[in-house]
Amino acid sequence: MIEKQTVYLDRNEYNYGPAPEVEKVLRNFDPDKLCFYTRIYDEGKKSILSDYIAELYNIPEKQVILGYGGEDILKQVVHYFLSGGQKQKTLLIPKFSWWYYKSIADEVNGRTIFYPLFEDGNTFKYDIQSIRETVEREKPEIVLIASPNNPTGNSLSKEELHEILSFIPRETAIVIDEAYASFSNKDTSYIKPLIEEFPNLLIIRTLSKFYGLPGLRLGFAFIGKNLSSFLNYSTKYLGYNRLSEEIGIAVLKANDYYQNVADLMAEDRETYMREIGALEGFKVYHSEANFILVKYPISLKSQLQNAFKAKDLIIKFMNEEDINTHMRITLGTQKQNRLVIDTIKEVVSTPS
């Protein structure tokens, strides 16, 4: 009897294997390195990884932060700017966004204000005028922008992003969560000019999504000079995990492998749009990430859940207000994506 294997398509994880370079690092890593701290801080640098990232992005190493995943940097920055003092401090986040943003603000009794996204055809968009009005009214300590945004999958253009950054006061910290950015844009040359023009800006990236290593727990960020106090707070005096550093460098060098997988995912996004979008009552939204958002007839919810369960497919059904008739589906392998599509079609074609 062949044992079924559960396919997890609910947390935007990676169902393709890692690049061969990862195995090479693990096979050849010298365990004696773990007996000593890194010595690169003797050069005034945090890590061989931050040094490599600085070179890759043409940004000074002093403006590169490392973390235990992008999640860790997010948590640090929100706690840092919202903690302390008599005033309850404010974080602005998109209405439809990762639940964790509000959760980490709640941990320090922060105040979370949502600014709207609106549906426009088969995508969502940021309401830039509403963001401006909310910033002026609430005077937040942090404005958080996600591009691409989870769960809606939409991105900001360079022009839209610049417009938003331009009206946010310099005393307000701006955090851009770019966990999924490599799926939407291969060009990273915009990052350096942005952090130079907007010294109150922090741009967070991760190796969990495009580079498919959520289990490695490794993220990085680029920080503007006005946030140097947070840089000092975040930096680890004795360095970082030396095995993780070498794996991180290896995957960043293996960009072609991961871009090939991203291209396969792009093909499957189009397949979802074409085949599921054609079903009555369904709507597939344009996504620039490794997931898609699908609106479905709520009357089919139980049938869909049961059908996915029968095939050991774990899909995220959204339950947030105004988006509770949607499911977010992580893009797996092409075989897995075909199974999901066919399962949805079977439910639709089966009389209730």
Pair of tokens at residue 312: 């050991």
Q: Is the pLDDT of residue 1 over 50?
A: no
Residue 221's pLDDT is what? 98
Which pTM value belongs to this model? 0.96
Say if residue 222's pLDDT is above 70. Answer: yes
What's the pLDDT tens digit per position in 6-27? 999 999 999 999 999 999 999 9
Q: Give the residue carrying structure tokens 């945004």.
A: 149
- Both tokens of residue 160? 């839209």
Run of H or E including 191:
helix 191-197
**The predicted structure's pLDDT at residue 85:** 82
What's the confidence (pLDDT) of residue 65? 97
List of domains in the chain? 7-17+256-349 (3.90.1150.10), 20-253 (3.40.640.10)
- Rounded average pLDDT over 202-210: 98
| Whether the Cβ atoms of residue 178 and residue 204 lie closer than 8 Å to each other | yes
Verify cis geometry, omega within 30 degrees of 0, for the bond prior to 151: yes
Q: In whole angstroms, give the CA distance from residue 115 to residue 135.
A: 9
Q: What is the DSSP letter of 136?
A: H
- The mean per-residue pLDDT over the stretch 288-312 comes to 97
pLDDT tens column, 30-74: 999 999 999 998 999 999 999 999 999 999 999 999 999 999 999
Rg (CA), the chain: 21
Mean pLDDT score of the chain, rounded to an integer?
96
Return all residues near 152 (Cβ < 8 A) that are at least 6 apart: 96, 117, 123, 124, 285, 293
**Per-residue confidence at 351, pLDDT binned at 50, 70, 90?**
confident
**CA-to-CA dists, residue 350 to 211, 311, 332, 343, angstroms:** 38, 16, 25, 11
Amino acid of residue 31: P
Report, as an integer, the average pLDDT of 189-216.
97
C-alpha torsion angle, residues 113, 157, 220, 100 (rounded to 10) = 30
> 327 - beta bridge partners?
294, 317
Contact of 203 with 176, CB cutoff 8 Å: yes
Query: Which of 42, 81, 86 is CA-nearest to residue 233?
Result: 81
Q: Is the pLDDT of residue 218 over 50?
A: yes
Q: Is the pLDDT of residue 242 over 50?
A: yes
Torsion angle (degrees, nearest 10) of CA 211, 217, 222, 228: 180
DSSP state of 316: E
Encoded tokens for 225: 């000079």
List pLDDT tens digits, range 62-111: 999 999 999 999 999 999 999 988 889 999 999 999 999 999 999 999 99
Is residue 2 over pLDDT 70? Answer: no
What confidence score (pLDDT) does residue 84 get? 87
Residue 3: pLDDT band (50, 70, 90) is low
Burial class (CB in 10 A: 0-12, 13-18, 19+), 22: buried
Over range 304-312, report the average pLDDT.
97
Indicate the SS3 state at residue 215: helix
What local confidence, expressed as pLDDT, does residue 352 receive?
66
User: pLDDT for 246-297, tens place per residue?
Assistant: 999 999 999 999 999 999 999 999 999 999 999 999 999 999 999 999 999 9
pLDDT at 64: 98
Beta-ladder partners of 67: 219
DSSP secondary structure of 64-103:
EEEESHHHHHHHHHHHHHHSSSSSPPEEEEESSS-HHHHH
Strand, coil or helix: what is 164? helix
Say if CB 207 and CB 217 are below 8 A apart.
no
Digit-coded pLDDT (tens) for 119-138:
999 999 999 999 999 999 99
| Cα–Cα distance, 113 to 134 (Å, whole number) | 9
What residues contact 196, with CB distance under 8 A and at least 6 apart?
A: 224
Q: Residue 201: beta bridge partners? A: 174
